[in-house]
Amino acid sequence: MSGADGITVIIPAYNSQDTIERAISSCSGLDGCRIIVVDDGSVDSTAGVARAAGAEVLRQTNSGASVARQTGLRAATSEFIVFLDADDELIPAGVLESVRILNRQPSAGVAAGTVIGILPNGRERLLQRTYTVVNTKELLSKGFGPWPPAASVIRRETLSKTESLDIPGLGTRFAEDYEMLIRLSLAGHVIMHDSPSTRYRLFAGKSSKAPIKAIEDKESIRRYYAESLRWPVALMNGAEIAAAASMRAARSSAANGAWVSTAGWLLRSVASSPSLMVRKLFGRLAAFRTTPGT
């Protein structure tokens, strides 16, 4: 299929009555797509708002976004899948470009466009990519995902292949999107293109509220797959995890205009691992020096 009638959009939602209609409406340019909202044990009006907006609604006891995605996936029958968070939005033109790429390249399991980030103050900017190619080794080496889930269209057959990999899934509480892409990269090629595919709310996810746990889980995933594949990976130590978590909290505070809190988190970051902060600073300077036009 070449159009949106071959797409299912799966939206995990927990107490999302204020944002779910906007997420569903963002799919309106994908004529013929199926929208499944998985209500993850909400205690507000998420389910009713979603139905009124035209989505199918499945309900489950509160089990987290990863389980909700699997619930929606079991109900899907289309060739292509998009996982959309309840507070984000799709950009249909970019989604359809991903579908066209997957139709042209049968060996590809994932195609992803670029991301428009939305700051807490409502300002938007195109997020710069830090990956030039996405494969398993690059994902494990860099230690972070290249985009939020909604940036990519996934071939359902490739998702099925991830279930039968020789390496069982780890299933952490955080960084589950990162692990999913690692597994997808083991099951098929990952392709990038330059059309914006999603509008993504920055500093709004659960990892922003528990940065240390999020980074610890991410490092657990790296260790698990590196050991399983017998690939060398330089893992973060405890001090580096604490420093990176403080830096993440500082960025979140700065985005919300909390400058005193930002300064406090920055000081904690430097105190936790001065060497890591120096490496990050020199890395930023090197990137600036090699940027065309600078």
Q: Mind giving me the DSSP string for 195-227?
A: EEEEEEETT-SHHHHSHHHHHHHHHHHHHHHHH
Domains of the chain (ranges, CATH numbers): 1-86 (3.90.550.10), 88-206 (3.90.550.10), 211-289 (no CATH)
Higher pLDDT, 20 or 66: 20
> Token pair for residue 248?
């993440």
- Residue 275 is predicted with a pLDDT of 66
Of 80, 69, 98, nearest to 7 by C-alpha is 80
What's the half-sphere exposure (Cβ side, CA atoms, 13 Å) at 18?
1
Give alpha helix (H) positions in 107-175: 136-142, 156-162
Q: What pLDDT is stored for residue 293 in this prediction?
A: 35
Cβ atoms of residues 201 and 87 within 8 Å: yes
SS3 85: coil
Decide: 116 and 124 in contact? Cβ < 8 Å.
Answer: yes
CA-to-CA distance for 73 and 12, rounded, in angstroms? 11
pLDDT number for residue 278: 54
Which residues 6+ apart lie within 8 Å of 206 measured at CB?
A: 174, 214
Host H or E run for residue 48:
helix 46-52
Instruction: Please report, to the nearest 10 degrees, the dihedral formed by the alpha carbons of residues 99, 27, 177, 186 taken in order.
Output: -10
226 pLDDT band, cuts 50/70/90, is very high
pLDDT classification of 244: cutoffs 50, 70, 90: confident
Residue 269 pLDDT exceeds 90: no
- For the chain, state the CA radius of gyration: 19
Pairwise pLDDT comparison (250 vs 132), residue with the higher score: 132
What is the average pLDDT across 164-189?
95
Tell me what the mean pLDDT of segment 219-226 comes to. Answer: 97
Q: Are 24 and 88 in contact (CB under 8 A)?
A: no
Q: What is the pLDDT of residue 279?
A: 55
pLDDT at 177 > cutoff 60: yes
Over residues 197-210, mean pLDDT? 85
Q: Output the furthest CA–CA distance in the chain (Å, rounded).
A: 54
Tokens of 106: 């049968």
Kindly provide the b/e burial profile for residues 15-49, where b requires at least 16 CB atoms within 10 angstroms of the residue's own CB. Answer: bbbebbbebbebbeebeebbbbbbbbebeeebbeb
Taking CA atoms, 221 is separated from 85, 109, 203, 211, 218, in Å, by 22, 21, 22, 15, 5
Q: pLDDT category, 258, cuts 50, 70, 90? A: confident
